[in-house]
Structure 1
Amino acid sequence: MRYLEITVPEGKRRAVLDVLEDEGIDYVVSDETSGRGYAAVVRFPLPTRAVEPVLDRLRRAGIGDEASVVVINAETVISEEFATLRNQYSRGGKKGSRTSRQVLRTKADELTPPFPIYAVMLLISAVVATAGLLSDSPAVVIGAMVIAPLLGPALAANVGIVTGDDRLKRTGFVYQIIGVTAVVVASIALAALARVAGLEPAGVDIVVATELEERVAPNLFSLAVALGAGIAGILSLTRGFSEAIVGVMIAAALIPPSAAVGITVAWGMYGAAIGAAALVIVNLLSINLAALGTLWVAGYRPQGLFEVSPTRRPTYVYATVFGVALLALAAPLAGVTLIDFQTTELESATEEEAHGVLADPAYDHLELEDVAVELDGNYPIQAVDRVLVTVSSREPGPEPGLADRLYEEIRPHGDGSLVVEVQYVVSEERGEGTADDAESQQAAVRSAGGS
């Protein structure tokens, strides 16, 4: 429920009261004697869903920007007229607390902080996210998401589109672009300092060693996070859900990938940087497309019947641009997804075939320890580099013919360039019982087969 107070300009008193009486609204009116060009002050309660249509009717009756309108929350209203009005606006199952267009603009604007604060908070978030990724700490990365003020700009841009508010739209898009760019630049600087300081793990791929791997080779499932964030963001704005929680979700789609771009650029891994940058752009497009679609489906339009058509066209244009760009970028993500599926299938088939080969009585002294499919590291779209089969034996040395036999069984599940490598580890017999110690002599002997 809402409680409205309208300061009515001179000459508009009768028009306002006619609208309120026609709507069956229980109002209180008092004369305005300040001598500032106002005739009266009208106060009345409204169901939340009635705020937007009533204000639109008042505007069509000639109550423009010169009037002062205040909308506040009301805890309860005890009135027969109000109960009738609430039933009227709940007709057809339309119950709920949908925020009016006027309030929606205000809330979106309030969620967008002043630029200096926005910039400082994003820089802090970038530093924390970069440190969290380099130290492989999920908790620190989550902390970076919590402090990133990205919810407001994402919502403001799309609220501005569907309501015809050019200032709000421009602010939202500028904040988003500058924000992501600032995170990338700050991450490059911090990661470069970390590398100069000698924090790079010697001989270890930085992508594999940290939380970066899932962000430099994104797949189609990454879209779900961003699309869900955009929809949830608008619902939080229009239905009164917790904006803070949804803000973390939007930050999760943008801050870690942006920091990943900076880290991979600083490490000179430009293929990985392209993958992370693609994820950032895809997530930005997904959030905005989902938010725009949710607002339009929810019925948000500019005030006045004659303003719907001009605003419908730019809304369709923005939706088309977002959608086409998203489809274009989804193609490489589909390639990564396909590789993921193929890798999983190959690993499963390899394990099955290895168990079948080792079931031969000739290999009773061998036991399958592990199966791994390793990729070539050519980000963002990788290929299978080799299949590594680890077996354990009580005696060191390769088993003659085992690698070739495994290769022949596994080859039909891969392509012609598949490489199969067999790694042997030595197990020891201790005390009265037998215990396998696979770590006692790691990689004692290796044999490889392939073509």
Structure 2
Amino acid sequence: MLHLRIVTPAERTAEVRALLEAEPGVAHLIVLPGTAVRPPGDLVLADIARECADSLLGGLRGLGLDHDGAITIEALDTVLSDAADRAEEAAPGEGSDAVLWDELIARTGEDSRLTVSFQAFLTIACLLAAIGAITDSPVLVVGAMVLGPEFGPLAAVAVGLVLRRRDLVRRGGLALAAGFPLGMAITALATLAFDATGLLAADTLDHLAEVEFIYEVGPFSLIVALLAGIAGILALTSAKSGSLVGVFISVTTVPAAAFASVALIEGRFVEAGQSALQLVVNLVGIVVAAALTLVVARRLGRRRDRGRVLSDG
């Protein structure tokens, strides 16, 4: 269940109430006249099934409440109520499969910004991956995968492509286009420091049996990227963000970027080129798979809404 809070001008409260009362997935509807101060108006509260949230948000936006009122949604972990149980049963579909497009836009928009913290996490992840490659340590490489924040911008680009939101595509693309080169440049400088201090020997990169997957590009590189893109966007849309950890571990974007820098500094141009190709394959594969998954989810949602309208009629 989700908790819905609406601030509405008093003259539109009746329309809001009618919209919510007509939805079988709504429970615990409360109207508090004159409660809101800024902006002034009435406060409407309700608990709603996740399955009906997207259509309700569309109806509330149609009343203009996102401009001269406010619409807030938050997840409820525990609801002990027979009315809530009945609302969830009456709502069509499964809550875990429902996509809240406004929530998805907000999450990806926030996670895709090129900020100091984003760049710091990406750079540290690249440095960890470089050390993991140099020491032939899969554990460090996996740790770098988990730390890398690149899935946010990738998801934003996918959402932007599907919804034709140029702002999301531009924001996510900027974070990737600026973040990775800067992280790779700092990793290259760190590699020079490792060389100067003797931490990186000339033949170190000759024995990397445990982390060869970083730069070995093959059919499975694309397959893994596609599967990661699907799993990642499903984790975002179904609010199962814990699954994103598995997605991060499965892709080699950060390790490939880091190893490309190390190999380039060490004069291993073939491995550097392969790592760069691995990076591109993973980035493109994730975006394509995520976008296609969203297209399918959107069509299924529209089909479900049409079937619901026909059944109500």
Shorter-chain TM band: 0.7 to 0.9
**Counterpart for residue 290 of structure 1:** 289
Within the candidate set 28, 31, 34, 2:33 is matched to 31
Distance 1:186 1:243, change over 3 A: farther
Amino acid at match of 1:67: G
1:227-286: CA deviation from partner (whole Å, max 9, x where unpaired): 122111111111232155135336x42011111111111012222221111111011000
Counterpart check, 1:47 vs 2:52 = no
Partner of 1:76: helix, strand, or coil? coil
Partner of 1:40: helix, strand, or coil? strand
1:94-143: CA deviation from partner (whole Å, max 9, x where unpaired): 22322411222233345447610111122211221111111112222222
Larger Rg: 1
Give the CA deviation at 1:35: 5.1
Partner of 2:22: helix, strand, or coil? helix
Say whether the 8 Å CA contact 2:4–2:74 is kept in structure 1.
Answer: yes
**Counterpart for residue 76 of structure 1:** 79
Distance 1:55 1:34, change over 3 A: closer
Distance 1:300 1:255, change over 3 A: farther
**Counterpart for residue 150 of structure 2:** 150
Give the CA deviation at 1:287: 0.7
Partner of 2:42: helix, strand, or coil? strand
Counterpart check, 1:129 vs 2:129 = yes
Q: After the TM superposition, which residues 418-433 of structure 1 pair with which residues of structure 2 at under 5 Å, given as runs?
A: none
Q: After the TM superposition, which residues 119-198 of structure 1 pair with which residues of structure 2 at under 5 Å, given as runs?
A: 119-198=119-198
Amino acid at match of 1:56: G
Distance 1:263 1:294 in 2: 35
Moved more, 212-221 or 265-274: 212-221
Give the CA deviation at 1:83: 4.6
Distance 1:157 1:66, change over 3 A: farther
Say whether the 8 Å CA contact 1:134–1:210 is kept in structure 2.
Answer: no
Say whether the 8 Å CA contact 1:229–1:249 is kept in structure 2.
Answer: no
Q: CA RMSD in A?
A: 2.7
Say whether the 8 Å CA contact 2:128–2:144 is kept in structure 1.
Answer: yes
Distance 1:231 1:189 in 2: 35
1:316-360: CA deviation from partner (whole Å, max 9, x where unpaired): xxxxxxxxxxxxxxxxxxxxxxxxxxxxxxxxxxxxxxxxxxxxx
Query: Higher relative contact order by CA 8 Å / sep ≥ 6: 1 or 2?
Result: 2
Query: Normalization by structure 1: what TM-score?
Result: 0.60
Partner of 1:217: helix, strand, or coil? coil
Distance 1:207 1:257 in 2: 17
Distance 1:231 1:209, change over 3 A: closer
Distance 1:201 1:39, change over 3 A: closer
Structure 2 residues without counterparts, runs of 5 or longer: 303-313
**Counterpart for residue 253 of structure 1:** 252
Give the CA deviation at 1:145: 1.9
Give the CA deviation at 1:56: 0.8
Amino acid at match of 1:274: G
1:38-69: CA deviation from partner (whole Å, max 9, x where unpaired): 33111111111111011112222443432211
Amino acid at match of 1:296: V
Give the CA deviation at 1:30: 0.9
Amino acid at match of 2:71: V
Distance 1:107 1:290 in 2: 19
Distance 2:95 2:37 in 1: 40
Partner of 2:144: helix, strand, or coil? helix
Amino acid at match of 1:103: E
Distance 1:196 1:210, change over 3 A: farther
Structure 1 residues without counterparts, runs of 5 or longer: 304-451
**Counterpart for residue 236 of structure 2:** 237
**Counterpart for residue 58 of structure 1:** 60
Distance 2:95 2:31 in 1: 28
Amino acid at match of 1:248: F
**Counterpart for residue 306 of structure 2:** none
Say whether the 8 Å CA contact 2:49–2:95 is kept in structure 1.
Answer: no
Number of aligned positions between the proteins? 297
Distance 1:201 1:12 in 2: 72
Give the CA deviation at 1:210: 5.9
Distance 1:302 1:283 in 2: 28
Identity of matched residues, % = 26
Distance 2:163 2:34 in 1: 32
**Counterpart for residue 311 of structure 2:** none
Distance 1:260 1:126, change over 3 A: same
Amino acid at match of 1:262: S
Distance 2:182 2:38 in 1: 47
Partner of 1:28: helix, strand, or coil? strand
Distance 1:301 1:33 in 2: 39
Say whether the 8 Å CA contact 1:5–1:43 is kept in structure 2.
Answer: yes
Query: Normalization by structure 2: what TM-score?
Result: 0.84
Say whether the 8 Å CA contact 1:163–1:301 is kept in structure 2.
Answer: no
1:202-227: CA deviation from partner (whole Å, max 9, x where unpaired): 5x472444656433331111112211
Say whether the 8 Å CA contact 1:133–1:141 is kept in structure 2.
Answer: yes
Distance 1:187 1:76, change over 3 A: same
**Counterpart for residue 67 of structure 1:** 69
